[in-house]
Structure formats: structure tokens, C-alpha cells
Structure 1
Amino acid sequence: MEKTIDELIQQLKTDDDFDREEALGQLEVRSEESFDSLVEALGNRNKKIRRYSAQVLGYIGDERAIEPLIVVLEDNNKFVRREASTALLRIGEPAYDSLIELLNHENWRVRGAAAWALGGLGKEEAIESLEPLLNDESGFVKAGAKSAINQIKESN
């Protein structure tokens, strides 16, 4: 019997890699049916559910997930934030303008995550927006900006 979307989302918190991968795959395949529940799961109390819901949204690549994923960049868990940043990178071009705007966010975690994601997009015009972050008060943001600029230059 096929599992419900809610059952698959609950399965994301398992420690069994095989079971979690099965749930990730099913949620991706059933993206039309699972999208809204995955967005809702970004606010779940369980960090694994938030993390892997962000991952699936990145695999799905629907630009409607951009705003909810941006909110998750402020999550207290670094793995959840990293997965949200990676998901925005996977969504690609539609997330670019939002990521550029986030470089001015008051939260260093958000600025840093945006910088790291922009590096993966490889758009040369992002360098101008990233350069001021090389003097950011946060070491994480500085490292993200430096890495992003180098990654962009290497890809072009």
C-alpha cells in the first residue's frame, strides 16, 4: 500500500538511510502532491524533517519554494540552513535576485548562505554584490563571499 505524503514526511526523520532515501525519492516523484506539505514541513519542530524537506524542494526545483526556503536560512540548525541554501542553488536562476537581496540581510547566517549559493550559480555579475562582504564582521560571511567569488571566476 502506498504511503501518504504525511507518512513519507515523517519517514524523513529516521536514522535509517535507506528508509529516508526511499521517502525522499517518493516525495520528489510525487512532487505535485507533496509540494505544499513539504513547504509546511519546513516549519516542523524536528530538524531532520526541516532539513530533508528543504532537500526535496531543491530536487523538485519549483520556484514557489524560494520564499519559504529563504525563511529557513534563519534556522538555528546549520544543516537545515545548508540544505535550504543548496535547494536555492538547485532552483537556480529564478532564485538569483532573491539571493542578491539577501546579501544585505541583518542576519550573518542568511548573508553567508546567500553568498555560498551565489557562488554555485556562477553568474559573473554577482561578484560586484559579493565584494563588499569580503569586509563583513562575520568570518562565515567573509569565507562565503571569498569562496563564491573564486568559484564564479573559475567557472567563467
Structure 2
Amino acid sequence: MEIEKNVARLIETLKDNDEHVQVQATEMLEEIGEPAVPQLIDALDDEDKNVRKGSARVLGLIGDVRSIKPLIEAMKDDNKWVRRAASGALSNMDKRAVEPLIQTLKDDDWRVRGGAAWALGNIKAPESLEPLIGVMSDDSSFVRAGATMAVGNIGGDAAQKALEGALNDKSSYVRRVAESFLNKE
């Protein structure tokens, strides 16, 4: 009961406009760890964007698998910083998040597909290469850029070929991402 009260107070502290206070609350919530997860998951629906963003970050630091689906849902948030925090948190989940993220590449929301691609790129799981190559032709340049970055991070012959194909993308940003990986080799 005492832990729950402390977690609730720390989550409330995430509303503070002082970034240093938010960082301290984040570190303390991370230290509490697994017992804080249920309340942090609930906080992903808080009306305050700083609470949602901070909760997503802490869930990523804790790395509890119960938070994978709620974090995927948080990638649909109206606030881009919350979406980025959720995507970053999923990147910290390692292999446990790969299959749910691969499925998320099919989401109707381009922001969610893009966030999933970026997260998979940070995880660098070889089993995500083929689905990522598939979304390199998405209608959204954000999704294509995320998939291109992810494919480049994973690497290999199939990735090389896909990156070469991305040099013809209509988005200059996607082309630059592909070039950056091709120039490394």
C-alpha cells in the first residue's frame, strides 16, 4: 500500500514543468521497478502529456512485458512526444517486443507504423527485416524513413539491396537515410 502511494505521488510529479524534477521522478520510479508497472500503465491514459510521456519512458526502462501492448497503444497518442517516448520505450524491450511490433507495422495509423519501424530498427532483430523491407514502400514518408533506418541497422545482403532501391524514393529524407547506410559499407 505504501509503495502504491509513493508511485502515485511520483507519477503526479511528472506533471512538474521543471525537467530536473521530472528526471528525478523518472529515476525513482525506475528504482521501484516492477511494483510500479500497473500504475504506470494506467498513467499512459492521463490527461497530462508529461505524465503520459514520463510513464512511457519509465516503462521502457523497467522493461516489463506487461507494458508492450499499452505502449503500442500509446504510439497512437495525439502528442508526438508521447508517441516518441512510447516508441523509444519499446526499443528498450529487446526481442520480447519484436513480434508485437512486426504486427504493428500493419496498423492503420501511419504514426504507429512509423514508430514500430523505428523501434524495430533499434532492436535490430533479423526476423523483422523482411516485414520492414515490405513497409519501405508505405504511403507515408515517415514510415518509409523509419523502415529504411531499421533495415540499415539490421544489415545484410537483403538490406543492402533494399537500401539501394530506397535511393530512388520520392522523399529526399528517405534517400539520405539510405545513402548514410550505403556509405558506411
With normalisation by structure 1, the TM-score equals: 0.93
The structure 1 residue matched to 2:143, chosen from 136, 141, 144, is: 141
The structure 2 residue matched to 1:88, chosen from 87, 90, 96, is: 90
Quick one: higher RCO (CA 8 Å, sep 6+), 1 or 2?
1
Q: Which amino acid aligns with 1:131?
A: I
CA contact (8 A) 2:118 2:149 kept: yes
Q: Which residue of 1 aligns with 2:164?
A: none
Q: Which amino acid aligns with 2:29?
A: L
C-alpha displacement of 1:33: 2.8
Structure exhibiting the larger radius of gyration computed from Cα positions: 2
C-alpha displacement of 1:8: 0.6
Q: Which residue of 2 aligns with 1:152?
A: 154
The structure 1 residue matched to 2:38, chosen from 33, 36, 39, is: 36
Structure 1 stretches of at least 4 aligned residues deviating more than 4 Å after TM superposition? none
Extract unaligned runs of 5+ from structure 1: none
Mapped to 2, the partners of 1:70 and 1:125 lie a distance apart of 19
CA contact (8 A) 2:75 2:112 kept: yes
Q: Which residue of 2 aligns with 1:105?
A: 107
> Aligned runs of 1:45-124 on 2, under 5 Å?
45-124=47-126
Partner secondary structure for residue 92 of structure 2 = helix
C-alpha displacement of 1:44: 0.3
Cα-Cα RMSD = 1.5
Q: Which residue of 1 aligns with 2:134?
A: 132
Extract unaligned runs of 5+ from structure 2: 156-180
Query: C-alpha offsets along residues 102-129 of structure 1, whole Å, 9 cap, x if unaligned?
Result: 1111111111000001111112221110
C-alpha displacement of 1:32: 3.1
The structure 1 residue matched to 2:21, chosen from 19, 26, 32, is: 19
Partner secondary structure for residue 4 of structure 1 = helix
Q: Which residue of 1 aligns with 2:175?
A: none
CA contact (8 A) 2:34 2:62 kept: no
Mapped to 2, the partners of 1:135 and 1:91 lie a distance apart of 26
Q: How many residues align?
A: 153
C-alpha displacement of 1:81: 0.6
Partner secondary structure for residue 15 of structure 1 = coil
C-alpha displacement of 1:19: 1.3
Mapped to 2, the partners of 1:21 and 1:134 lie a distance apart of 36
With normalisation by structure 2, the TM-score equals: 0.79
Mapped to 1, the partners of 2:127 and 2:35 lie a distance apart of 36
